């Protein structure tokens, strides 16, 4: 009797609250959670990351065979600028993504971007050997919140082809409100908004854009770049008719949520 073909593993997906670039060098409960997540998942064929730090007026994917490590920050110790994450790219995945999300147009970036710190500050812990191909998807600033959720749902098909999809940002991200005297806690408005996001992601991810009406939205999301990667996880959850689980939660400097989620 002939053996049944082996079906591809449906890869998990995740949203990571990445916080400060210094997490790349530090060992704390958040980086431990990222490390445990990387160790727990089947080895991906590739990792597709939607990072808050590639926020442009177009939808694009990196399509170079050897993406550079981008140090897109300033004022940090030289040790952080010395970090390299030499993961290969996977140019053929760019074409696969373009086909998967039609009719959305996706540009192929062969030389301008690479792997930014929203990606490598997490992956140095989750996949420290940097041997798995990494591709980034830009955040298109011209799209509505609903369109980002819908694009996340379209990408869900890639999970059955061995692609691990990761959103990297912070659901609450207000740099002007940061207070260094609050290294491990959040302001009341930050915790209220983060709790509201958790309630939706773990029970009704299809309703995630209702957060836009939350009384604390303006304080928690003064700019949309760090918020939008979470919408992709909500779209992936909805496409799979499932909900997200909290990987780890917490706050730093009062106004940054470090809460991270996974979808099985």
SS3 of 208-230:
HHHHHHCCCHHHHCCCCCCCHHH
What does the pLDDT read at residue 74?
Answer: 87
In this prediction, residue 232 has a pLDDT band, given cuts at 50, 70 and 90, of: very high
pTM over 0.85: yes
pLDDT at residue 170 is higher than 50 = yes
In this prediction, residue 43 has a pLDDT band, given cuts at 50, 70 and 90, of: very high
pLDDT at residue 137 is higher than 60 = yes
Label residue 206 exposed, middle or buried (CB < 10 Å: 0-12, 13-18, 19+). middle
What does the pLDDT read at residue 190?
Answer: 98
Q: What percent of the chain has pLDDT over 70?
A: 97
Q: What percent of the chain has pLDDT over 90?
A: 96
Question: Which one is predicted more confidently, 12 or 2?
Answer: 12
CA distances from 150 to 1, 17, 94, 106 (A): 43, 21, 19, 15
Contact (CB, 8 A) for 260 and 177: no
Residue 3 is classified by DSSP as P
Contact (CB, 8 A) for 33 and 183: no
At 180-218, the pLDDT tens digits run 999 999 999 999 999 999 999 999 999 999 999 999 999
pLDDT at residue 259 is higher than 80 = yes
What does the pLDDT read at residue 4?
Answer: 39
For each of the domains in the chain, give its residue range(s) and CATH number, in order of start.
13-171+217-249+258-263 (3.40.830.10)
What does the pLDDT read at residue 3?
Answer: 44
pLDDT at residue 107 is higher than 60 = yes
In this prediction, residue 246 has a pLDDT band, given cuts at 50, 70 and 90, of: very high
| Token output for 80 | 């952080």
- The mean pLDDT value for 131-150 works out to 98
- The mean pLDDT value for 37-42 works out to 96
What does the pLDDT read at residue 122?
Answer: 98
- The mean pLDDT value for 15-31 works out to 96
In this prediction, residue 9 has a pLDDT band, given cuts at 50, 70 and 90, of: confident
What does the pLDDT read at residue 82?
Answer: 96
In this prediction, residue 8 has a pLDDT band, given cuts at 50, 70 and 90, of: low
pLDDT at residue 1 is higher than 50 = no
Mean pLDDT of the chain: 96
């Amino acid at each position: 009797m002939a053996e049944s073909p082996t079906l591809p593993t449906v890869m998990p997906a995740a949203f990571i609250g990445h916080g400060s670039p210094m997490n790349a060098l530090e060992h704390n409960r958040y980086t431990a959670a990222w490390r445990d997540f990387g160790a727990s998942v089947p080895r991906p064929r590739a990792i597709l990351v939607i990072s808050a730090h590639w926020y442009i007026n177009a939808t694009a994917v990196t399509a170079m065979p050897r993406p550079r490590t981008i140090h897109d920050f300033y004022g940090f110790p030289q040790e952080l600028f010395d970090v390299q994450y030499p993961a290969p790219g996977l140019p053929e995945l760019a074409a696969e993504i373009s086909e998967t999300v039609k009719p959305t147009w996706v540009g192929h970036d062969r030389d301008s971007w690479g792997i930014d710190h929203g990606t490598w500050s997490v992956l140095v812990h989750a996949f420290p050997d940097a041997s798995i191909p990494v591709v980034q998807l830009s955040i298109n600033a011209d799209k509505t919140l609903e369109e980002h959720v819908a694009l996340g749902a379209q990408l869900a098909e890639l999970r059955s082809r061995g692609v691990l999809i990761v959103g990297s940002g912070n659901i609450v991200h207000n740099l002007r409100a940061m207070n260094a005297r609050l290294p491990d806690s959040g302001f009341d408005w930050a915790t209220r908004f983060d709790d509201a996001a958790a309630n939706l992601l773990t029970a009704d991810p299809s309703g995630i854009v209702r957060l836009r009406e939350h009384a604390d939205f303006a304080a928690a999301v003064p700019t949309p770049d760090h918020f939008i990667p979470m919408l992709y996880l909500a779209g992936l959850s909805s496409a799979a008719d499932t909900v997200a689980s909290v990987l780890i939660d917490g706050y730093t400097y009062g106004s940054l949520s470090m809460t991270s989620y996974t979808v099985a």
